[in-house]
Structure 1
Amino acid sequence: MSQAKKRYVRNPNLPFVSRELFTKARLTDDEEKQLSAESYEEVLKAKANAIEGLLRPFYDGGDEDEKKKKTKSRIEFEVFASPKLKHFRQRVRFGICEQQQHREQQLLSEEEEKGKFDYCIFERSEITRIETKFDIASESLQAIMNKLREALNEDDRFQSLREGRLSAVTFHENRKSTECVVTLWRGEPFREDFAKVSGLLAKEIGVKAIVGRTKGDRRVSNDSTEDFVVEEMEIKDNESGTGRVLRYKQPEGSFSNPNGDIAEMTANWLCRAMETDEIAAQTARSFVELYCGNMNHGCYLAKYFPRGKVIGVERDENLCRAAEVNLEMNSIENGTIINAPAEIVARRFLSRLRKKKRGEENIEGEEYPFTEKDFFLVDPPRAGLDEITLDLAREFKDIMYISCDARSLARDLGEKKLSETHRVKRLAAFDHFPWHADFLEVVCQLEKKE
């Protein structure tokens, strides 16, 4: 029997700000107060305090080895706020619901309105309609949202795209708002003229491509291969402010960080950690990342491993292809992508490691592409690490664990006993989802105990 999927339950003790507030044309004084900078500080503080409470047993003297020391090492828990409180997302997805406001205002009959839609979001078992604005999305995305809805609802040339049980729409752009890809999700097959009709619509609303997705079928406007956006990230390498700009292909339909500003802040924090530890000066170490995606972390951290390899492990073939492009686009010559599930790579590595310890190192021919002496980064899904991947992590001296749910990180450190082999060296939280009552992304650097 398959295991039931664990349902996420919101913490009722944390403040809640409804996304409906971001859809209103006008706010009351009380609603304005809820979305003020002062209110955000309270939400962020509450989230940070909750996470600090979860993780405190594993740092700041909670470690048994630390208690034995005469002087207790002090780990600072750094918290980074979102620089934007509105318009901070470059990727959004909406459900589709039947349009009602015109009928309620008696502007259209039920027959005239048939098939026309509004965007909607589902929150706390309720549906919130988005009529003209959604201030969580970037301003340019909002403009494209309205153009698309108007074109599909009002222009007969595009009626075929609206038909066929349209169920959702995704918008994905880069931070400069120079490229945007729209995805239409529906329950019925697309007509043969989809590429032509959607190509005309893409030009009309000013987007790079429109992708159509239905079960077993995926099509792109004008049969184009330009179904991606290119994002840029600036890394400041020293205190003088000089730095470098990296470019990333973010393919449609695959994971990318929706808050590019916070992703850039996270990248700079990780680079500072590498510089402080003088990782680049260490002997021929390699960088190994599980769940590497499009090699977002690997590209900007590659410079700290000049005499080793930069190895990414990712199961999504589409992201692996993007990762190869990104390595080349950023002139990373020592990069390698392994297209495989993390648990498969972990199992093979641990098997070889056991044979090595028994003196059978060359029993299977070629040496494995990395060793337990290399630098290990994991950026797993919300559920955290599974047992076999945790066993792999325990073998490494240095671990950078990026967690989008601190409860999974706390479980892996405590219940799963990762803290028995490793101690916390650095800890920081980044608010990718301002106003969301629960989530802060946590970056935890661990080092093996002596």
Structure 2
Amino acid sequence: MPMSNVQPDDYTRLLAEKRKAVAHGLAPWCAGEPDIYPSAPTGFRMRAEFRMWHDGDSLDYVMFRKDDPRTPVPITHFPIGCDTIGQLMPVLREALTANPELRRKLFQVEFLATLAGDTLVTLIYHRKLEDAWEREAEALRVFLDGHVPGISLIGRSRKQKLVLGKNWVTEQLEIEGKTYSYNQYEQAFTQPNARVNIKMIEWACGRAAALDGDLLELYCGNGNFTLPLAQHFDQVIATELAKTSVRAARENLAANGVENIQIIRLAAEEVTQAMQGEREFRRLQDLPKALREYDLRTVFVDPPRAGLDDATVQMVQRFDSIIYISCNPNTLADNLAVLTKTHVVKRHAMFDQFPYTDHMECGVFLQRR
């Protein structure tokens, strides 16, 4: 996104225009007004990544426009970044510029911050990282710790990953009056707009509050939605394919003392096969009881931009209630065209995770006709 798109004084109008466009696309299936959850106009991103541009002894954070991918655009001000990222960017750039060892063949810098104050910076190189790099990087980490206490630093290159501190951050989110702790691993998926993420979770929990029985969740990630949703169901089976996310979800489950969730490493397609009795999976043997013995009445899905595949859409139609969080209104519309043959949309919402872009997160709550 070009920084010229960032217009905080015009945010309300821009959000209204985006809301209108998304509502038009969902109108055949979503009647009435959606719940709208705006973002803060600035300081909302907890993640950021930049290419590093070398010009002699100078070093700049740069981005590239889609219409001109060869011309670097220096980023000297990043108003959408959270306070921690905004504070770190100039300090880190100056330190890297002054250090030939850390600057040499540096390709990219990634920031991961939290509302809780935990921060991680990843430096990515096009060269092997030797002992000299590690010594200088540790000195840099200590220096940065004076600006952002507890910061961790990671160096990456081809087949290399050197961790100075931790390779995760710990986030704390207050949901429905309760604080949840989440380990978020470096380069694993996390929601970039933490405060809007809280609103998304609370909206989903609000829909779940009147339901009962057990919950099946697909694409659970690190347990972002799973932990708070579990308070509203007897048992939860949460599935995820990415190994790092499964590990984080299990750690977060233990850290929060939640005992009614089972995390199973399965893809959505595999869950569909298991639910339909087409295949047996050894990983399901870790469940306290057979899958068919759970009282699964509700399904929660938060799929990638491609949405739900056809077989998974058919599988979720078996549930009385569907809570669907979508990062792509277009694929959501495709899925709703099928889901609304058996279910009706009871409530829907829009969450502005990505201000100043065309992207909108949506929430839809469906119940069987």
Give the letter for the 2:307 counterpart: G
2:368 is the counterpart of 1:448: yes
The match for 1:357 is: none
Q: CA deviation at 1:339?
A: 1.4
**In the alignment, is the contact (CA less than 8 A) between 1:195 and 1:220 conserved in 2?**
no
Give the letter for the 2:81 counterpart: A
The match for 1:133 is: 77
1:249–1:179 Cα change, 3 Å: same
Q: CA deviation at 1:124?
A: 2.7
**Structure 1: distance between partners of 2:102 and 2:231:** 46
Q: CA deviation at 1:175?
A: 1.4
**Structure 2: distance between partners of 1:311 and 1:193:** 47
- When normalised by structure 2's length, the TM-score is 0.90
**Structure 2: distance between partners of 1:181 and 1:249:** 12
Residues 237-268 of structure 1 deviation map (CA, whole Å, 9 limit, x = unaligned): xxxxxx21111111111011111010011122
**In the alignment, is the contact (CA less than 8 A) between 2:46 and 2:114 conserved in 1?**
yes
**Structure 1: distance between partners of 2:35 and 2:75:** 38
Q: CA deviation at 1:348?
A: 2.1
Q: Aligned to 2:277, what secondary structure does the other structure show?
A: helix
**In the alignment, is the contact (CA less than 8 A) between 2:214 and 2:295 conserved in 1?**
no
2:163 is the counterpart of 1:220: yes
1:44–1:128 Cα change, 3 Å: farther
Identify which of 160, 166, 174 aligns with 1:234.
174
2:2 is the counterpart of 1:41: no
Give the letter for the 1:290 counterpart: L
Residues 152-183 of structure 1 deviation map (CA, whole Å, 9 limit, x = unaligned): 1113xxx32322x322111001114x221011
1:322–1:35 Cα change, 3 Å: same
The match for 2:304 is: 381
Pairing of 1:157-306 with structure 2 (within 5 A): 159-163=100-104, 165-176=105-116, 178-206=117-145, 208-221=151-164, 224=165, 226-236=166-176, 243-275=177-209, 278-279=210-211, 282=212, 285-305=213-233
2:91 is the counterpart of 1:147: yes
**In the alignment, is the contact (CA less than 8 A) between 2:343 and 2:366 conserved in 1?**
yes
Q: CA deviation at 1:213?
A: 2.0
The match for 1:81 is: 38
The match for 2:248 is: 322
Q: CA RMSD in A?
A: 2.2
**In the alignment, is the contact (CA less than 8 A) between 1:310 and 1:336 conserved in 2?**
yes
**In the alignment, is the contact (CA less than 8 A) between 2:61 and 2:76 conserved in 1?**
no
Give the letter for the 1:123 counterpart: R
**In the alignment, is the contact (CA less than 8 A) between 1:235 and 1:245 conserved in 2?**
yes
**Structure 2: distance between partners of 1:138 and 1:52:** 29
Unmatched tracts of structure 1, length 5 or more: 1-16, 23-33, 61-74, 100-112, 237-242, 354-365
**Structure 2: distance between partners of 1:193 and 1:390:** 53
**In the alignment, is the contact (CA less than 8 A) between 1:412 and 1:418 conserved in 2?**
yes
**In the alignment, is the contact (CA less than 8 A) between 2:8 and 2:42 conserved in 1?**
no
**Structure 1: distance between partners of 2:158 and 2:207:** 44
Q: Which structure has the larger Rg? A: 1
Residues 169-225 of structure 1 deviation map (CA, whole Å, 9 limit, x = unaligned): 11001114x22101112222221444433222111112521112223222212xx4x
Q: Aligned to 1:152, what secondary structure does the other structure show?
A: helix
The match for 1:119 is: 61
Residues 263-315 of structure 1 deviation map (CA, whole Å, 9 limit, x = unaligned): 0111222222223xx22xx3xx222211111001011111111xx32221111
**Structure 2: distance between partners of 1:351 and 1:372:** 16
The match for 1:356 is: none
1:125–1:117 Cα change, 3 Å: farther
2:63 is the counterpart of 1:90: no
**In the alignment, is the contact (CA less than 8 A) between 1:311 and 1:337 conserved in 2?**
yes
**Structure 1: distance between partners of 2:227 and 2:293:** 18
Pairing of 1:21-60 with structure 2 (within 5 A): 34-36=7-9, 39-60=10-31
Unmatched tracts of structure 2, length 5 or more: 280-288
1:352–1:123 Cα change, 3 Å: same
The match for 1:68 is: none
**In the alignment, is the contact (CA less than 8 A) between 2:5 and 2:356 conserved in 1?**
no
**Structure 2: distance between partners of 1:41 and 1:175:** 24
Q: CA deviation at 1:123?
A: 2.3
**In the alignment, is the contact (CA less than 8 A) between 2:185 and 2:248 conserved in 1?**
yes
**In the alignment, is the contact (CA less than 8 A) between 1:98 and 1:117 conserved in 2?**
yes
